Every structure is written in C-alpha cells, then in structure tokens.
Amino acid sequence: MRNLLFSFILFLPITFCFSQAKKETGPFTFIDTGGKPINAHGGGILYHNNTYYWYGEIKRGKTFKVPGSNWENYRVNAGGVSCYSSKNLREWKFAGVVLPANKTDQNSDLHISKVIERPKVIYNKKTKQFVMWMHIDSDDYAYARSGVAVSNSPTGPFKYLGSEKPNGNMARDMTIFVDDDGKAYHFYSSEDNATMHIALLTDDYLKHTTTDKRILIGLSREAPAVFKYQKKYYLITSGCTGWSPNEANYAVANDILGEWKAYGNPCLGKDADKTYYAQSTFVLPVQGKINQFIFMADQWSKLDLEKSKYLWYPLSVNTEGLPEIKPYK
C-alpha cells in the first residue's frame, strides 16, 4: 500500500503527499497552512501560472433536514465559495471566501437559504477573466439553475452575474471542461437528474450557446467529472442517492458532442462498489505528466456536513483505454 502511494508521489512533478492528513489511505480532512480544516466541498481545481487554485462549497454550521422534505434533504446554510492556493498540492493557503453568501436578501440566488454547490472556475484567455459556474438551487432543489460569476483575479472577489436554466433546461450537479481549442462545455444533470446535458458556452464563457447535447439519457447520473486523454473524453459520474454513496460509472466519447458510451465502474479494490464511500467531484490532470490524474471525491457526512472529507486517489487510463481508480491499499 505504501509503495503504491509513494510511487504515485514520485510520479508527481512536485511533492504531493498527505503528511498533514489524518490517515494515509483517505478520506482526509485536509488542513490548510493556517492549521484549519479545508472547507471546499464539491470542488474543482484550476491550474494557472504555476499555481493550483482549489474552489469549493463552504459547509459550516449546523446540519438540519429541510422541513417538509420526504427525502434525506440535509443541508447547512449556504456558505458561499472558498478558494485555497498551492504550489505543490500539499500545502494549501486559504485565499478567502471568493464568493460570499448573502445574509440579508431572501431573493438573492446567493442567500444563505439557497443551495450553492459544485463551483468550478475556468480561465478565459481571450477576456483574461476567471469565470466561475455553479449549481444554484432553492432548498427543495426545485429552482435547478446554473449561476455564473467573474473575476479579474483567481483569488477573487468574484462578481455574481446571475443564473439561468441552460436553454430552458433544469440544471443541477455540474462541471465545466475546457478543451484544447479553448472551447468550454458545461456538463449538467438535467431533466430531474435523469439525463446529462453538455452545453457549449459562448466564447467569453459567460452564457450558454444553443449547442446542447443530451447524453446518458434516462441513466440518472450526477456528480460529473470530465477529463481528456489521447483525444478521448472521459466522464465519471455517480448515481443519484442524495448524500449517500453509490457506484460510480464512466462514459467515453471520441467527440465531446458526439456519441457517449457508458461502461462500468472505474473504481478498483475495496469498497469500489460504493466509490470508497465518496462521490466524484473533479478529475485533476497532474501537470507535466502523461496519463496521471487525481480523482477528487467528497465523502459526505450527511448528518454533519461540515465534517465531510476529501478522497483523492490516482486515476490513469489502462492499455485498453479504460480509466482505473486505484486506492492506496
């Protein structure tokens, strides 16, 4: 187990280790350079100018069940979006609350009574702006929209521009993928989470174009995480079981807006059928390395969401073109 962990570390261009984590095998409560637990759930990482920026949901305070819900609708008040920066993926410096929640205006998308989930930040080379997309919802998840914010700096502050239903569609769990040609795509769970959509964003990344493709039709997938390897596109998703773990699945496409074929579970080893009790959020390509990715997932603590942990496992594509996530033990 240790050998696998250390060989993974050795592959990285810069030291990546879990020395500050509580357990070597994950999931982890990552600790920032100020000694506090990292609060960046459902997150994603932007690599910009030799620095990694980790953005995520701030989950703080008491977890409660939304009154009147007939499902496990546990939540904390929306806490906004945090950012941490790192040069080495090991030491994370808190860079601030880059998009705060609103405490006073009940009608604001960012009000603490709303849902602000799965923020992802991308950089637009043409406009030189950092663009954040996120899932915005009401506490009963009926609002189902995508919010967008911009900043001139990776560490914010981000200016919230508003939310939309992409091409009139419901939009919940999401991620953003920027292709080699600079085109950005919004992957979002739609149609009451039954079907995933991929919408091409406008050149400034601030709106949706009408290019909007339905994939994994009727398969009920969420928590999308996308990466590209050797001209193929890979999409890892979870099933739809709220905060409870389930089996991950992956799909592959030769053309991002073409045919996506769903395969099986990319997870190997113990607890693979439950994604190691975690849920996908992002796949991070390791800078400067070929076929080395980090599968980032959240291990939700549904009765105390602030205590949710992070699981980062190595991911690579095997000789048959199949993605494999391997735990350390």
Interface with ligand DGJ in residues 6-65 (CB under 6 A): 42
Could you tell me the two tokens for 204? Answer: 């400034």
Residue nearer to ligand DGJ on the CB measure, 45 or 278: 278
222 binding ligand DGJ? (CB under 6 A) = yes
CB of 45 to ligand DGJ, least distance (A): 17
Residue nearer to ligand DGJ on the CB measure, 88 or 220: 220
224 binding ligand DGJ? (CB under 6 A) = no
State the DSSP string of 82-130. EEEEESSSSS-EEEEEEEPPBSS-TTSTTBTTSEEEEEEEEEETTTTEE
User: Whose CA is closest to 119, among 88, 141, 150?
Assistant: 150
Count interface residues toward ligand DGJ (CB under 6 A). 9
- Tally of CA atoms within 13 A in the half-sphere of 297 that contains its CB: 32
173 binding ligand DGJ? (CB under 6 A) = yes
Residue nearer to ligand DGJ on the CB measure, 89 or 311: 311
Q: Residues 96-115 vs ligand DGJ: string with x where CB under 6 A?
A: --------------------
> How many residues in the chain?
329
Give the residue carrying structure tokens 């009574």.
113
**Residue nearest ligand DGJ, Cβ-based:** 242
Interface with ligand DGJ in residues 271-300 (CB under 6 A): 279
Q: Are strands 93-99 and 323-325 parallel, antiparallel or unpaired?
A: unpaired
117 binding ligand DGJ? (CB under 6 A) = yes
CB of 101 to ligand DGJ, least distance (A): 16
Q: Alpha-carbon torsion 26, 295, 115, 239, what sign?
A: negative
236 binding ligand DGJ? (CB under 6 A) = no
Residue nearer to ligand DGJ on the CB measure, 12 or 296: 296
Distance CA 214, CA 188 (A): 10
Among 149, 215, 223, 267, binds ligand DGJ (CB under 6 A): 223
Interface with ligand DGJ in residues 152-171 (CB under 6 A): none
Give the residue carrying structure tokens 């992957």.
187
Beta bridge partners of 228: 233
Residue nearer to ligand DGJ on the CB measure, 176 or 317: 176
Distance CA 240, CA 174 (A): 13
CB of 242 to ligand DGJ, least distance (A): 4
Residue nearer to ligand DGJ on the CB measure, 78 or 198: 78
Give the residue carrying structure tokens 């693979």.
272
Phi (first) and psi of residue 134, to 5 degrees: -155, 160
Q: Which residues bind ligand DGJ (CB under 6 A)?
A: 42, 117-118, 173, 222-223, 242-243, 279
